[in-house]
Structure 1
Amino acid sequence: MDAIRKQLDQLMGANRNGDVREVSRKYYDRDVCRLFLAGLCPHDLFQLTKMDMGPCPKLHSLQLRKEYEEAKAKGMDNYDRELEETIERLISECERKIQRALKRLEEDDAKAAIAISVTEVTQSKEVIEFSKQIKEKMKEIDAFDLEGNTEGKIRATEEVDKLKEQRAEEQAKLLLEAFNKDRVSLMTSLQTANQSTAPAAAASDARTQEMIDEKLKKAEELGENGMIDEAQKLLDETEALKKLGARPQPVPDSAKMSTHVQITDQKLRLCDICGAFLSVYDSDRRLADHFGGKLHMGYMLIREKLSELQVRF
C-alpha cells in the first residue's frame, strides 16, 4: 500500500485528496526528506530490484523542494553535503561488489572476466543528446506537477520513457559493436591454436614413421642372426606403431568451434556503472534491457548527481 500511495503522490501530488497537512509543513520539518529536497532520494531509484530500499519513510514534496531551493539561494540551508555522503556510500558498496566479483572470477580463470568501461564505450553524440532531452523532460514533469497539470505530466512521462528506451537501444548497439570485436578475437585465437597443432601433428607422424623404419631394420638384423623371438617382438611393436599412426584425427567444424569458445572462453564483462555481469555473447535485446533496467539507470543517476555535487564544492 505504501508503494501504491507513493506512486499516486508522484503522479497527482501528495495533497491530491485535499490533505492540508502538507500545506502546513515546512521544508525543514523532520518528516520531510532532505535527500529529495537536495535533488535525489535513493529510495526512488531501485524499486522492484535486488537493491530495493522500500518506500521512503519521509515526505517528498515538489512544493517544499521549491521552498528549500529558494532558502538555499539565500544561504539559509544546504543539504547537498548530506546527499553527497549518501551517494558516496552507495557507490562505494557498488565498487566493492565489482572488485569482489573480479577477484572471484580471476581465481577460476585469470582471463575470464575484466571490468569494461561502459561509460566510455557507450558514449556518443546520440546518447548524450538523449540524456539531455531526458533531463529537460524531467524538469517539465516537475513543472506540470507543481501546476497540478496531470494530463501534461502523464504525456511528458510517456515521452521520457520513450527517450530512455531509445537511449538504451543506442547504448546496446555501441556495446555490441565492442563485443563483436571480442568475438572475432576469440574465434581468431581458436583458429590460430588449431592451425598451430597441424604442423605438430605432421611432425609427430614423421617421427612415428622413422621409428617404424628403425624397428624393421633392427628386426631384420636380429632375424639374420637367429634371434627370432627378439625380432618378432620388434615386429609386434612396429605393427602397434602403424595402428597408432593410422588413427583418424578429429577435424573441428565451425559449429563445434563456436560451442568450444562459448564454454571454455566466454569472456564475461562487469559493467563499471552498476556491477552487473555482461557477456560478449549477449544479444542486442538483452543489452538494451540492461541499459534500460532500473538498477543500471539508478546507479547512472547517482553517479551523475555525485559529479554535479562535486563540481559545486
Structure 2
Amino acid sequence: MAAEQRKLLEQLMGDQFAGSIASKTANLSLTSPQVCRSYLCGTCPHDLFTNTKQDLGACPKFHPENLKLEYETLDAHEKAKLGFEYDYMRDMERYVADCNRRIESAQRRLEKTPDEIRRTNALLKTISDLTKTINTGLLEIQVLGELGQVNLAASEFFKVRTAKLAREQAEHDLKSLSDTSGPSGHQKLQVCDVCGAYLSRLDNDRRLADHFYGKMHLGYAQMRKTYEKLSGEFKGRMPPVRDQESRGEDGYGGGDFSDRRGGYGGGGGFRGRGRGRGRGRW
C-alpha cells in the first residue's frame, strides 16, 4: 500500500507532507542505507502487490525520485561498481523462492488424501480379483458345456453373472471416488504456476482474464522476469567489491530481504530455484 498511502498523505497534508519527506531525504545519497535499492534499480516489491492478498505494506526505506533519476543517468560501469543490481536480484530471489514454496504447498493440498489413496487401491484390487474370477468362470462354463454337464455350467454361469455385477459396482464406486477426491473433488482446481493462486478449470474466459491481468499475477510475472534476466546476466560473475558506505549498514548493499546466510558464493551460485521446473512463462 506504499504508493496509495503516500498519495493519501499528500492529499491530506498537502505541502506539509511534501516538506516533511523532502527534509528527511534531503541529505540522502545513492549509497545511503536508508534508500531502497530495489526502487532505484527497478520496482520495489512493496509497490507491486498493493491492495492484494500479498500486500507487503509500506516499504521501510525511502523512495526518493531524484535519486532514482540520478541512478538512471549513470553509465553501465558506474552502476556495476555500485552493485545495486546484485542486491535487487537477491530481493527478487527471495520473493520468487517464497512464491515457489507456496505453489508446492498448494499443489500438495490438491492431491488425494491417504484415505482416498487407500480406498482407490482397495477398489482397484477388487476389480482385478473379480476380473480374474469372471475369466476363470467363463472357461469353466465352456469346458462343462463341452462335457454335457449343463446343471454345473448353469450354476457357474450364475456365479459369473454375480461377479460381473459386483465388478460393475466397484467400477462405479471407483469413478465416484475419482470425481470427488483430489483436484476433481476441489471443483477441478489447479494452481497458477506464476503467483500460486487457485484457478478452476470451470472458470469462464472472463474470470480467467481477471486473474491473468490482475495486479498480483502481473506483479509476480514481472518479478520472475526480472530475476531471470538479472541472474542470467550475472551468472558466473563475481559480485563487485564495495566499500563500507556502498555496502550499507548490513554489509550486503542495504537489501532488506536478502538471506544473510548465503552470500553470493563465488559468483552466480544462487540458491533460489528460479523456475527450474519450467514454470512461469510469459
Superposed displacement of residue 74, structure 1: 5.9
Superposed displacement of residue 292, structure 1: 2.0
Q: Deviations over 1:91-113 (max 9, x none)?
A: 1111222223334444539xx9x
Structure 1 segments unaligned to the other structure (5+ residues): 113-202, 220-233, 251-258
**What CA distance in whole angstroms lies between the structure 2 residues aligned with 1:263 and 1:42?**
39
Name the SS for the 2:68 alignment partner: helix
Superposed displacement of residue 89, structure 1: 0.8
Normalising by structure 1, we get a TM-score of 0.47
Q: Is the 8 A contact 2:9 2:17 kept in 1?
A: no
Superposed displacement of residue 32, structure 1: 2.2
1:26 aligns with: 28
Whether 1:49 and 2:25 are equivalent positions in the alignment is no
Q: Which has the higher contact order (CA 8 A, sep 6+)?
A: 2
1:94 aligns with: 99
**What CA distance in whole angstroms lies between the structure 1 residues aligned with 2:4 and 2:192?**
31
Q: Is the 8 A contact 1:98 1:270 kept in 2?
A: yes
Tell me which of 209, 212, 222 is aligned to 1:301: 222
**What CA distance in whole angstroms lies between the structure 1 residues aligned with 2:44 and 2:213?**
19
Pick closer, same or farther for the CA change 1:53–1:291 going to 2, 3 Å: same
2:73 aligns with: 70
Over alpha carbons, which structure has the higher Rg? 1
CA-atom RMSD in angstroms: 5.1
Whether 1:280 and 2:201 are equivalent positions in the alignment is yes
Tell me which of 90, 95, 113 is aligned to 1:108: 113
Q: Is the 8 A contact 1:71 1:77 kept in 2?
A: no
Q: Is the 8 A contact 2:192 2:199 kept in 1?
A: yes
Superposed displacement of residue 26, structure 1: 3.1
Q: Is the 8 A contact 1:34 1:79 kept in 2?
A: yes
Normalising by structure 2, we get a TM-score of 0.51
Name the SS for the 2:19 alignment partner: coil
Pick closer, same or farther for the CA change 1:16–1:303 going to 2, 3 Å: farther
Name the SS for the 1:19 alignment partner: helix
2:6 aligns with: 6
Whether 1:38 and 2:41 are equivalent positions in the alignment is yes
Tell me which of 57, 63, 75 is aligned to 1:60: 63
Pairs aligned (count):
205
Pick closer, same or farther for the CA change 1:18–1:106 going to 2, 3 Å: closer
2:211 aligns with: 290
Whether 1:81 and 2:83 are equivalent positions in the alignment is no
Superposed displacement of residue 66, structure 1: 0.7
Please tell me the residue identity of whatever aligns with 1:31: Q
Superposed displacement of residue 261, structure 1: 8.0
Please tell me the residue identity of whatever aligns with 1:27: S
Structure 2 segments unaligned to the other structure (5+ residues): 118-134, 169-175, 235-282
Q: Is the 8 A contact 1:37 1:65 kept in 2?
A: yes
Q: Is the 8 A contact 2:49 2:56 kept in 1?
A: yes
Pick closer, same or farther for the CA change 1:58–1:7 going to 2, 3 Å: same
